Amino acid sequence: MIKILVTNDDGVTAPGLFALVEALREVGEVSVLAPDHNWSASGHVKTLHRPLRVKEVNLLDGSQALTSDGAPSDCVALAVLGLVDDLDLVVSGINPNANVGHDVTYSGTVTAAMEAVIWGLPGLAVSLDSPDNHLDPLDYSAAAEYARRVVELMLENKLPSETVLNLNVPALPLDDIKGLQVTRQGLRVYHDELLVRSDPRGVPYYWIGGDPPTGIPDQGTDFGALKAGFASLTPLNLDLTAVGVLEKIRELFSDHPGG
């Protein structure tokens, strides 16, 4: 029996996690170990300075899950290091917003999948490209179905080590999604602004505000695929070496021929 760990960065009660659990039960035995609160935009965390607590909770259908006060990547480490035996694969999500472009360096959803790959397990991050400021509850069913398909392909095909898969799915009904494109990481355009306000005692405080980030929808990128109505699957590398500029930087910076 295939054993799958599901985690996320929104917390164990998030509806996106439950949609993912339900879809992946068709593929194997699903265990959940997820944060007990929201860690969005938390990055890749390893909690070494304090101990972590783990509790049993129930998901929406009454099934058992584990939750921890650690970050998403801590949850993966806790599971791999002993709390969940014999894992075959780790899936993180479904995040209620896309993780595309530079988002992947901030994303708790993506770093949970990275942590799995560091421990030698296949890792997949799943996100829904929902509209900004949506009011209705999100429908995760199509994203969950795409996650299930990608997990089946991951189990059939051994991926190169160091490779994390990052899946983003349009917020459309399943039949309206045009298919799956394998893409490059695109370029995010952030519109952050600094807002200064005064507290009741006249002391200033700062919000990182501004419009939501946009992206350049080049063909072949995560943005381009989503914009064209496709689900986007991007392989990410844990080796961040800028190979293309290595020689140039070696010429400019190295003071030793062995470098």
Among 14-22, 25-33, 134-142, 241-249, which window interacts with a second copy (CB under 8 A)?
241-249
**Binding mask 185-224 vs a second copy (x if CB under 8 A, - otherwise)?**
x--x-x-xxx--x------xxxxx----------x-----
For a second copy, the binding residues in 68-127 under the rule CB under 8 A are 71, 73-74, 77-78, 81-83, 102, 104-106, 111, 114, 118
Enumerate the β-bridge partners of residue 204.
198
**Taking the complex as a whole, how short is the minimal distance between the CB of residue 20 and a second copy, in angstroms?**
18
**Taking the complex as a whole, how short is the minimal distance between the CB of residue 215 and a second copy, in angstroms?**
13
Cβ neighbours of 162 (radius 10 Å): 13
For a second copy, the binding residues in 30-49 under the rule CB under 8 A are 38, 40-49
Calculate Rg over the CA atoms of the chain.
19
246 touching a second copy, by CB under 8 A = yes
* 23 burial via Cβ count (<10 Å: 0-12, 13-18, 19+): buried
Cβ neighbours of 234 (radius 10 Å): 24
172 touching a second copy, by CB under 8 A = no
Q: Which of 60, 174, 216, 249 binds a second copy (CB under 8 A)?
A: 249
For a second copy, the binding residues in 51-70 under the rule CB under 8 A are 51-54
Q: Which of 153, 173, 214, 216 binds a second copy (CB under 8 A)?
A: 153
110-137 in b/e form (b: 16+ CB < 10 A) is: bbbbbbbbbeebbbbbbbbbbeeeeeee
Residue 231 main-chain phi, psi, to 5 deg? -75, 145
